[in-house]
Amino acid sequence: MKNYQQPSDQGTQFDEFVAKCYVACQNGHLLSDHLMWITWAPFRANAWSQLDSPKHVETAVLLHHERVFGTADRASAESAIDPEIVAMVASRLWLIVLSEKQETLVPLKDWEAIVAAELIRKGEQW
């Protein structure tokens, strides 16, 4: 989660995050179903729609190939990339942009009552 007012160096940090996500998925980390990057300042606007693509995941992993694969040889790193893990990371990535106004959003008391009544009707705990 990055609460920056400007894009700053988020692109660089995001690439590192994606590489870490690759390692987590590669190791079968149990809490890697959703990989969320939450920010208050969009970054890389011209490439935004591609930041969760397999191509970008591969690029980010290769940027950090020494840490990910333990080799300084880029060719070795390229051959070590698992396309299935790349696809898995890409499909699990979420990029979310929030605003300060969203932080104050809370459900109205009437809505809470409706939800509570529905849960009770279904026999669930409120």
Does the pTM of the predicted model rise above 0.75? yes
What is the full DSSP assignment across 10-28?
A: HHHHHHHHHHHHHHHHHTT
Cα→Cα distances 57→52, 72, 84, 88, 107, Å: 7, 19, 11, 10, 36
Instruction: Return the structure tokens found at 105.
Output: 């959003």
| CA dist., res. 43 & res. 14, Å (int) | 10
| CA dist., res. 63 & res. 46, Å (int) | 20
| CA dist., res. 70 & res. 48, Å (int) | 29
Half-sphere exposure of 115 toward its Cβ, with a 13 Å CA cutoff? 8
Nearest 5°: phi and psi at 37? Answer: -115, 110
Instruction: Return the structure tokens found at 104.
Output: 């104050």
Print pLDDT tens along the chain (126 aa): 657 677 789 999 999 999 999 999 999 988 889 999 999 888 999 999 999 999 999 999 999 999 999 999 999 999 999 999 999 999 999 999 988 888 787 777 787 888 888 888 888 765
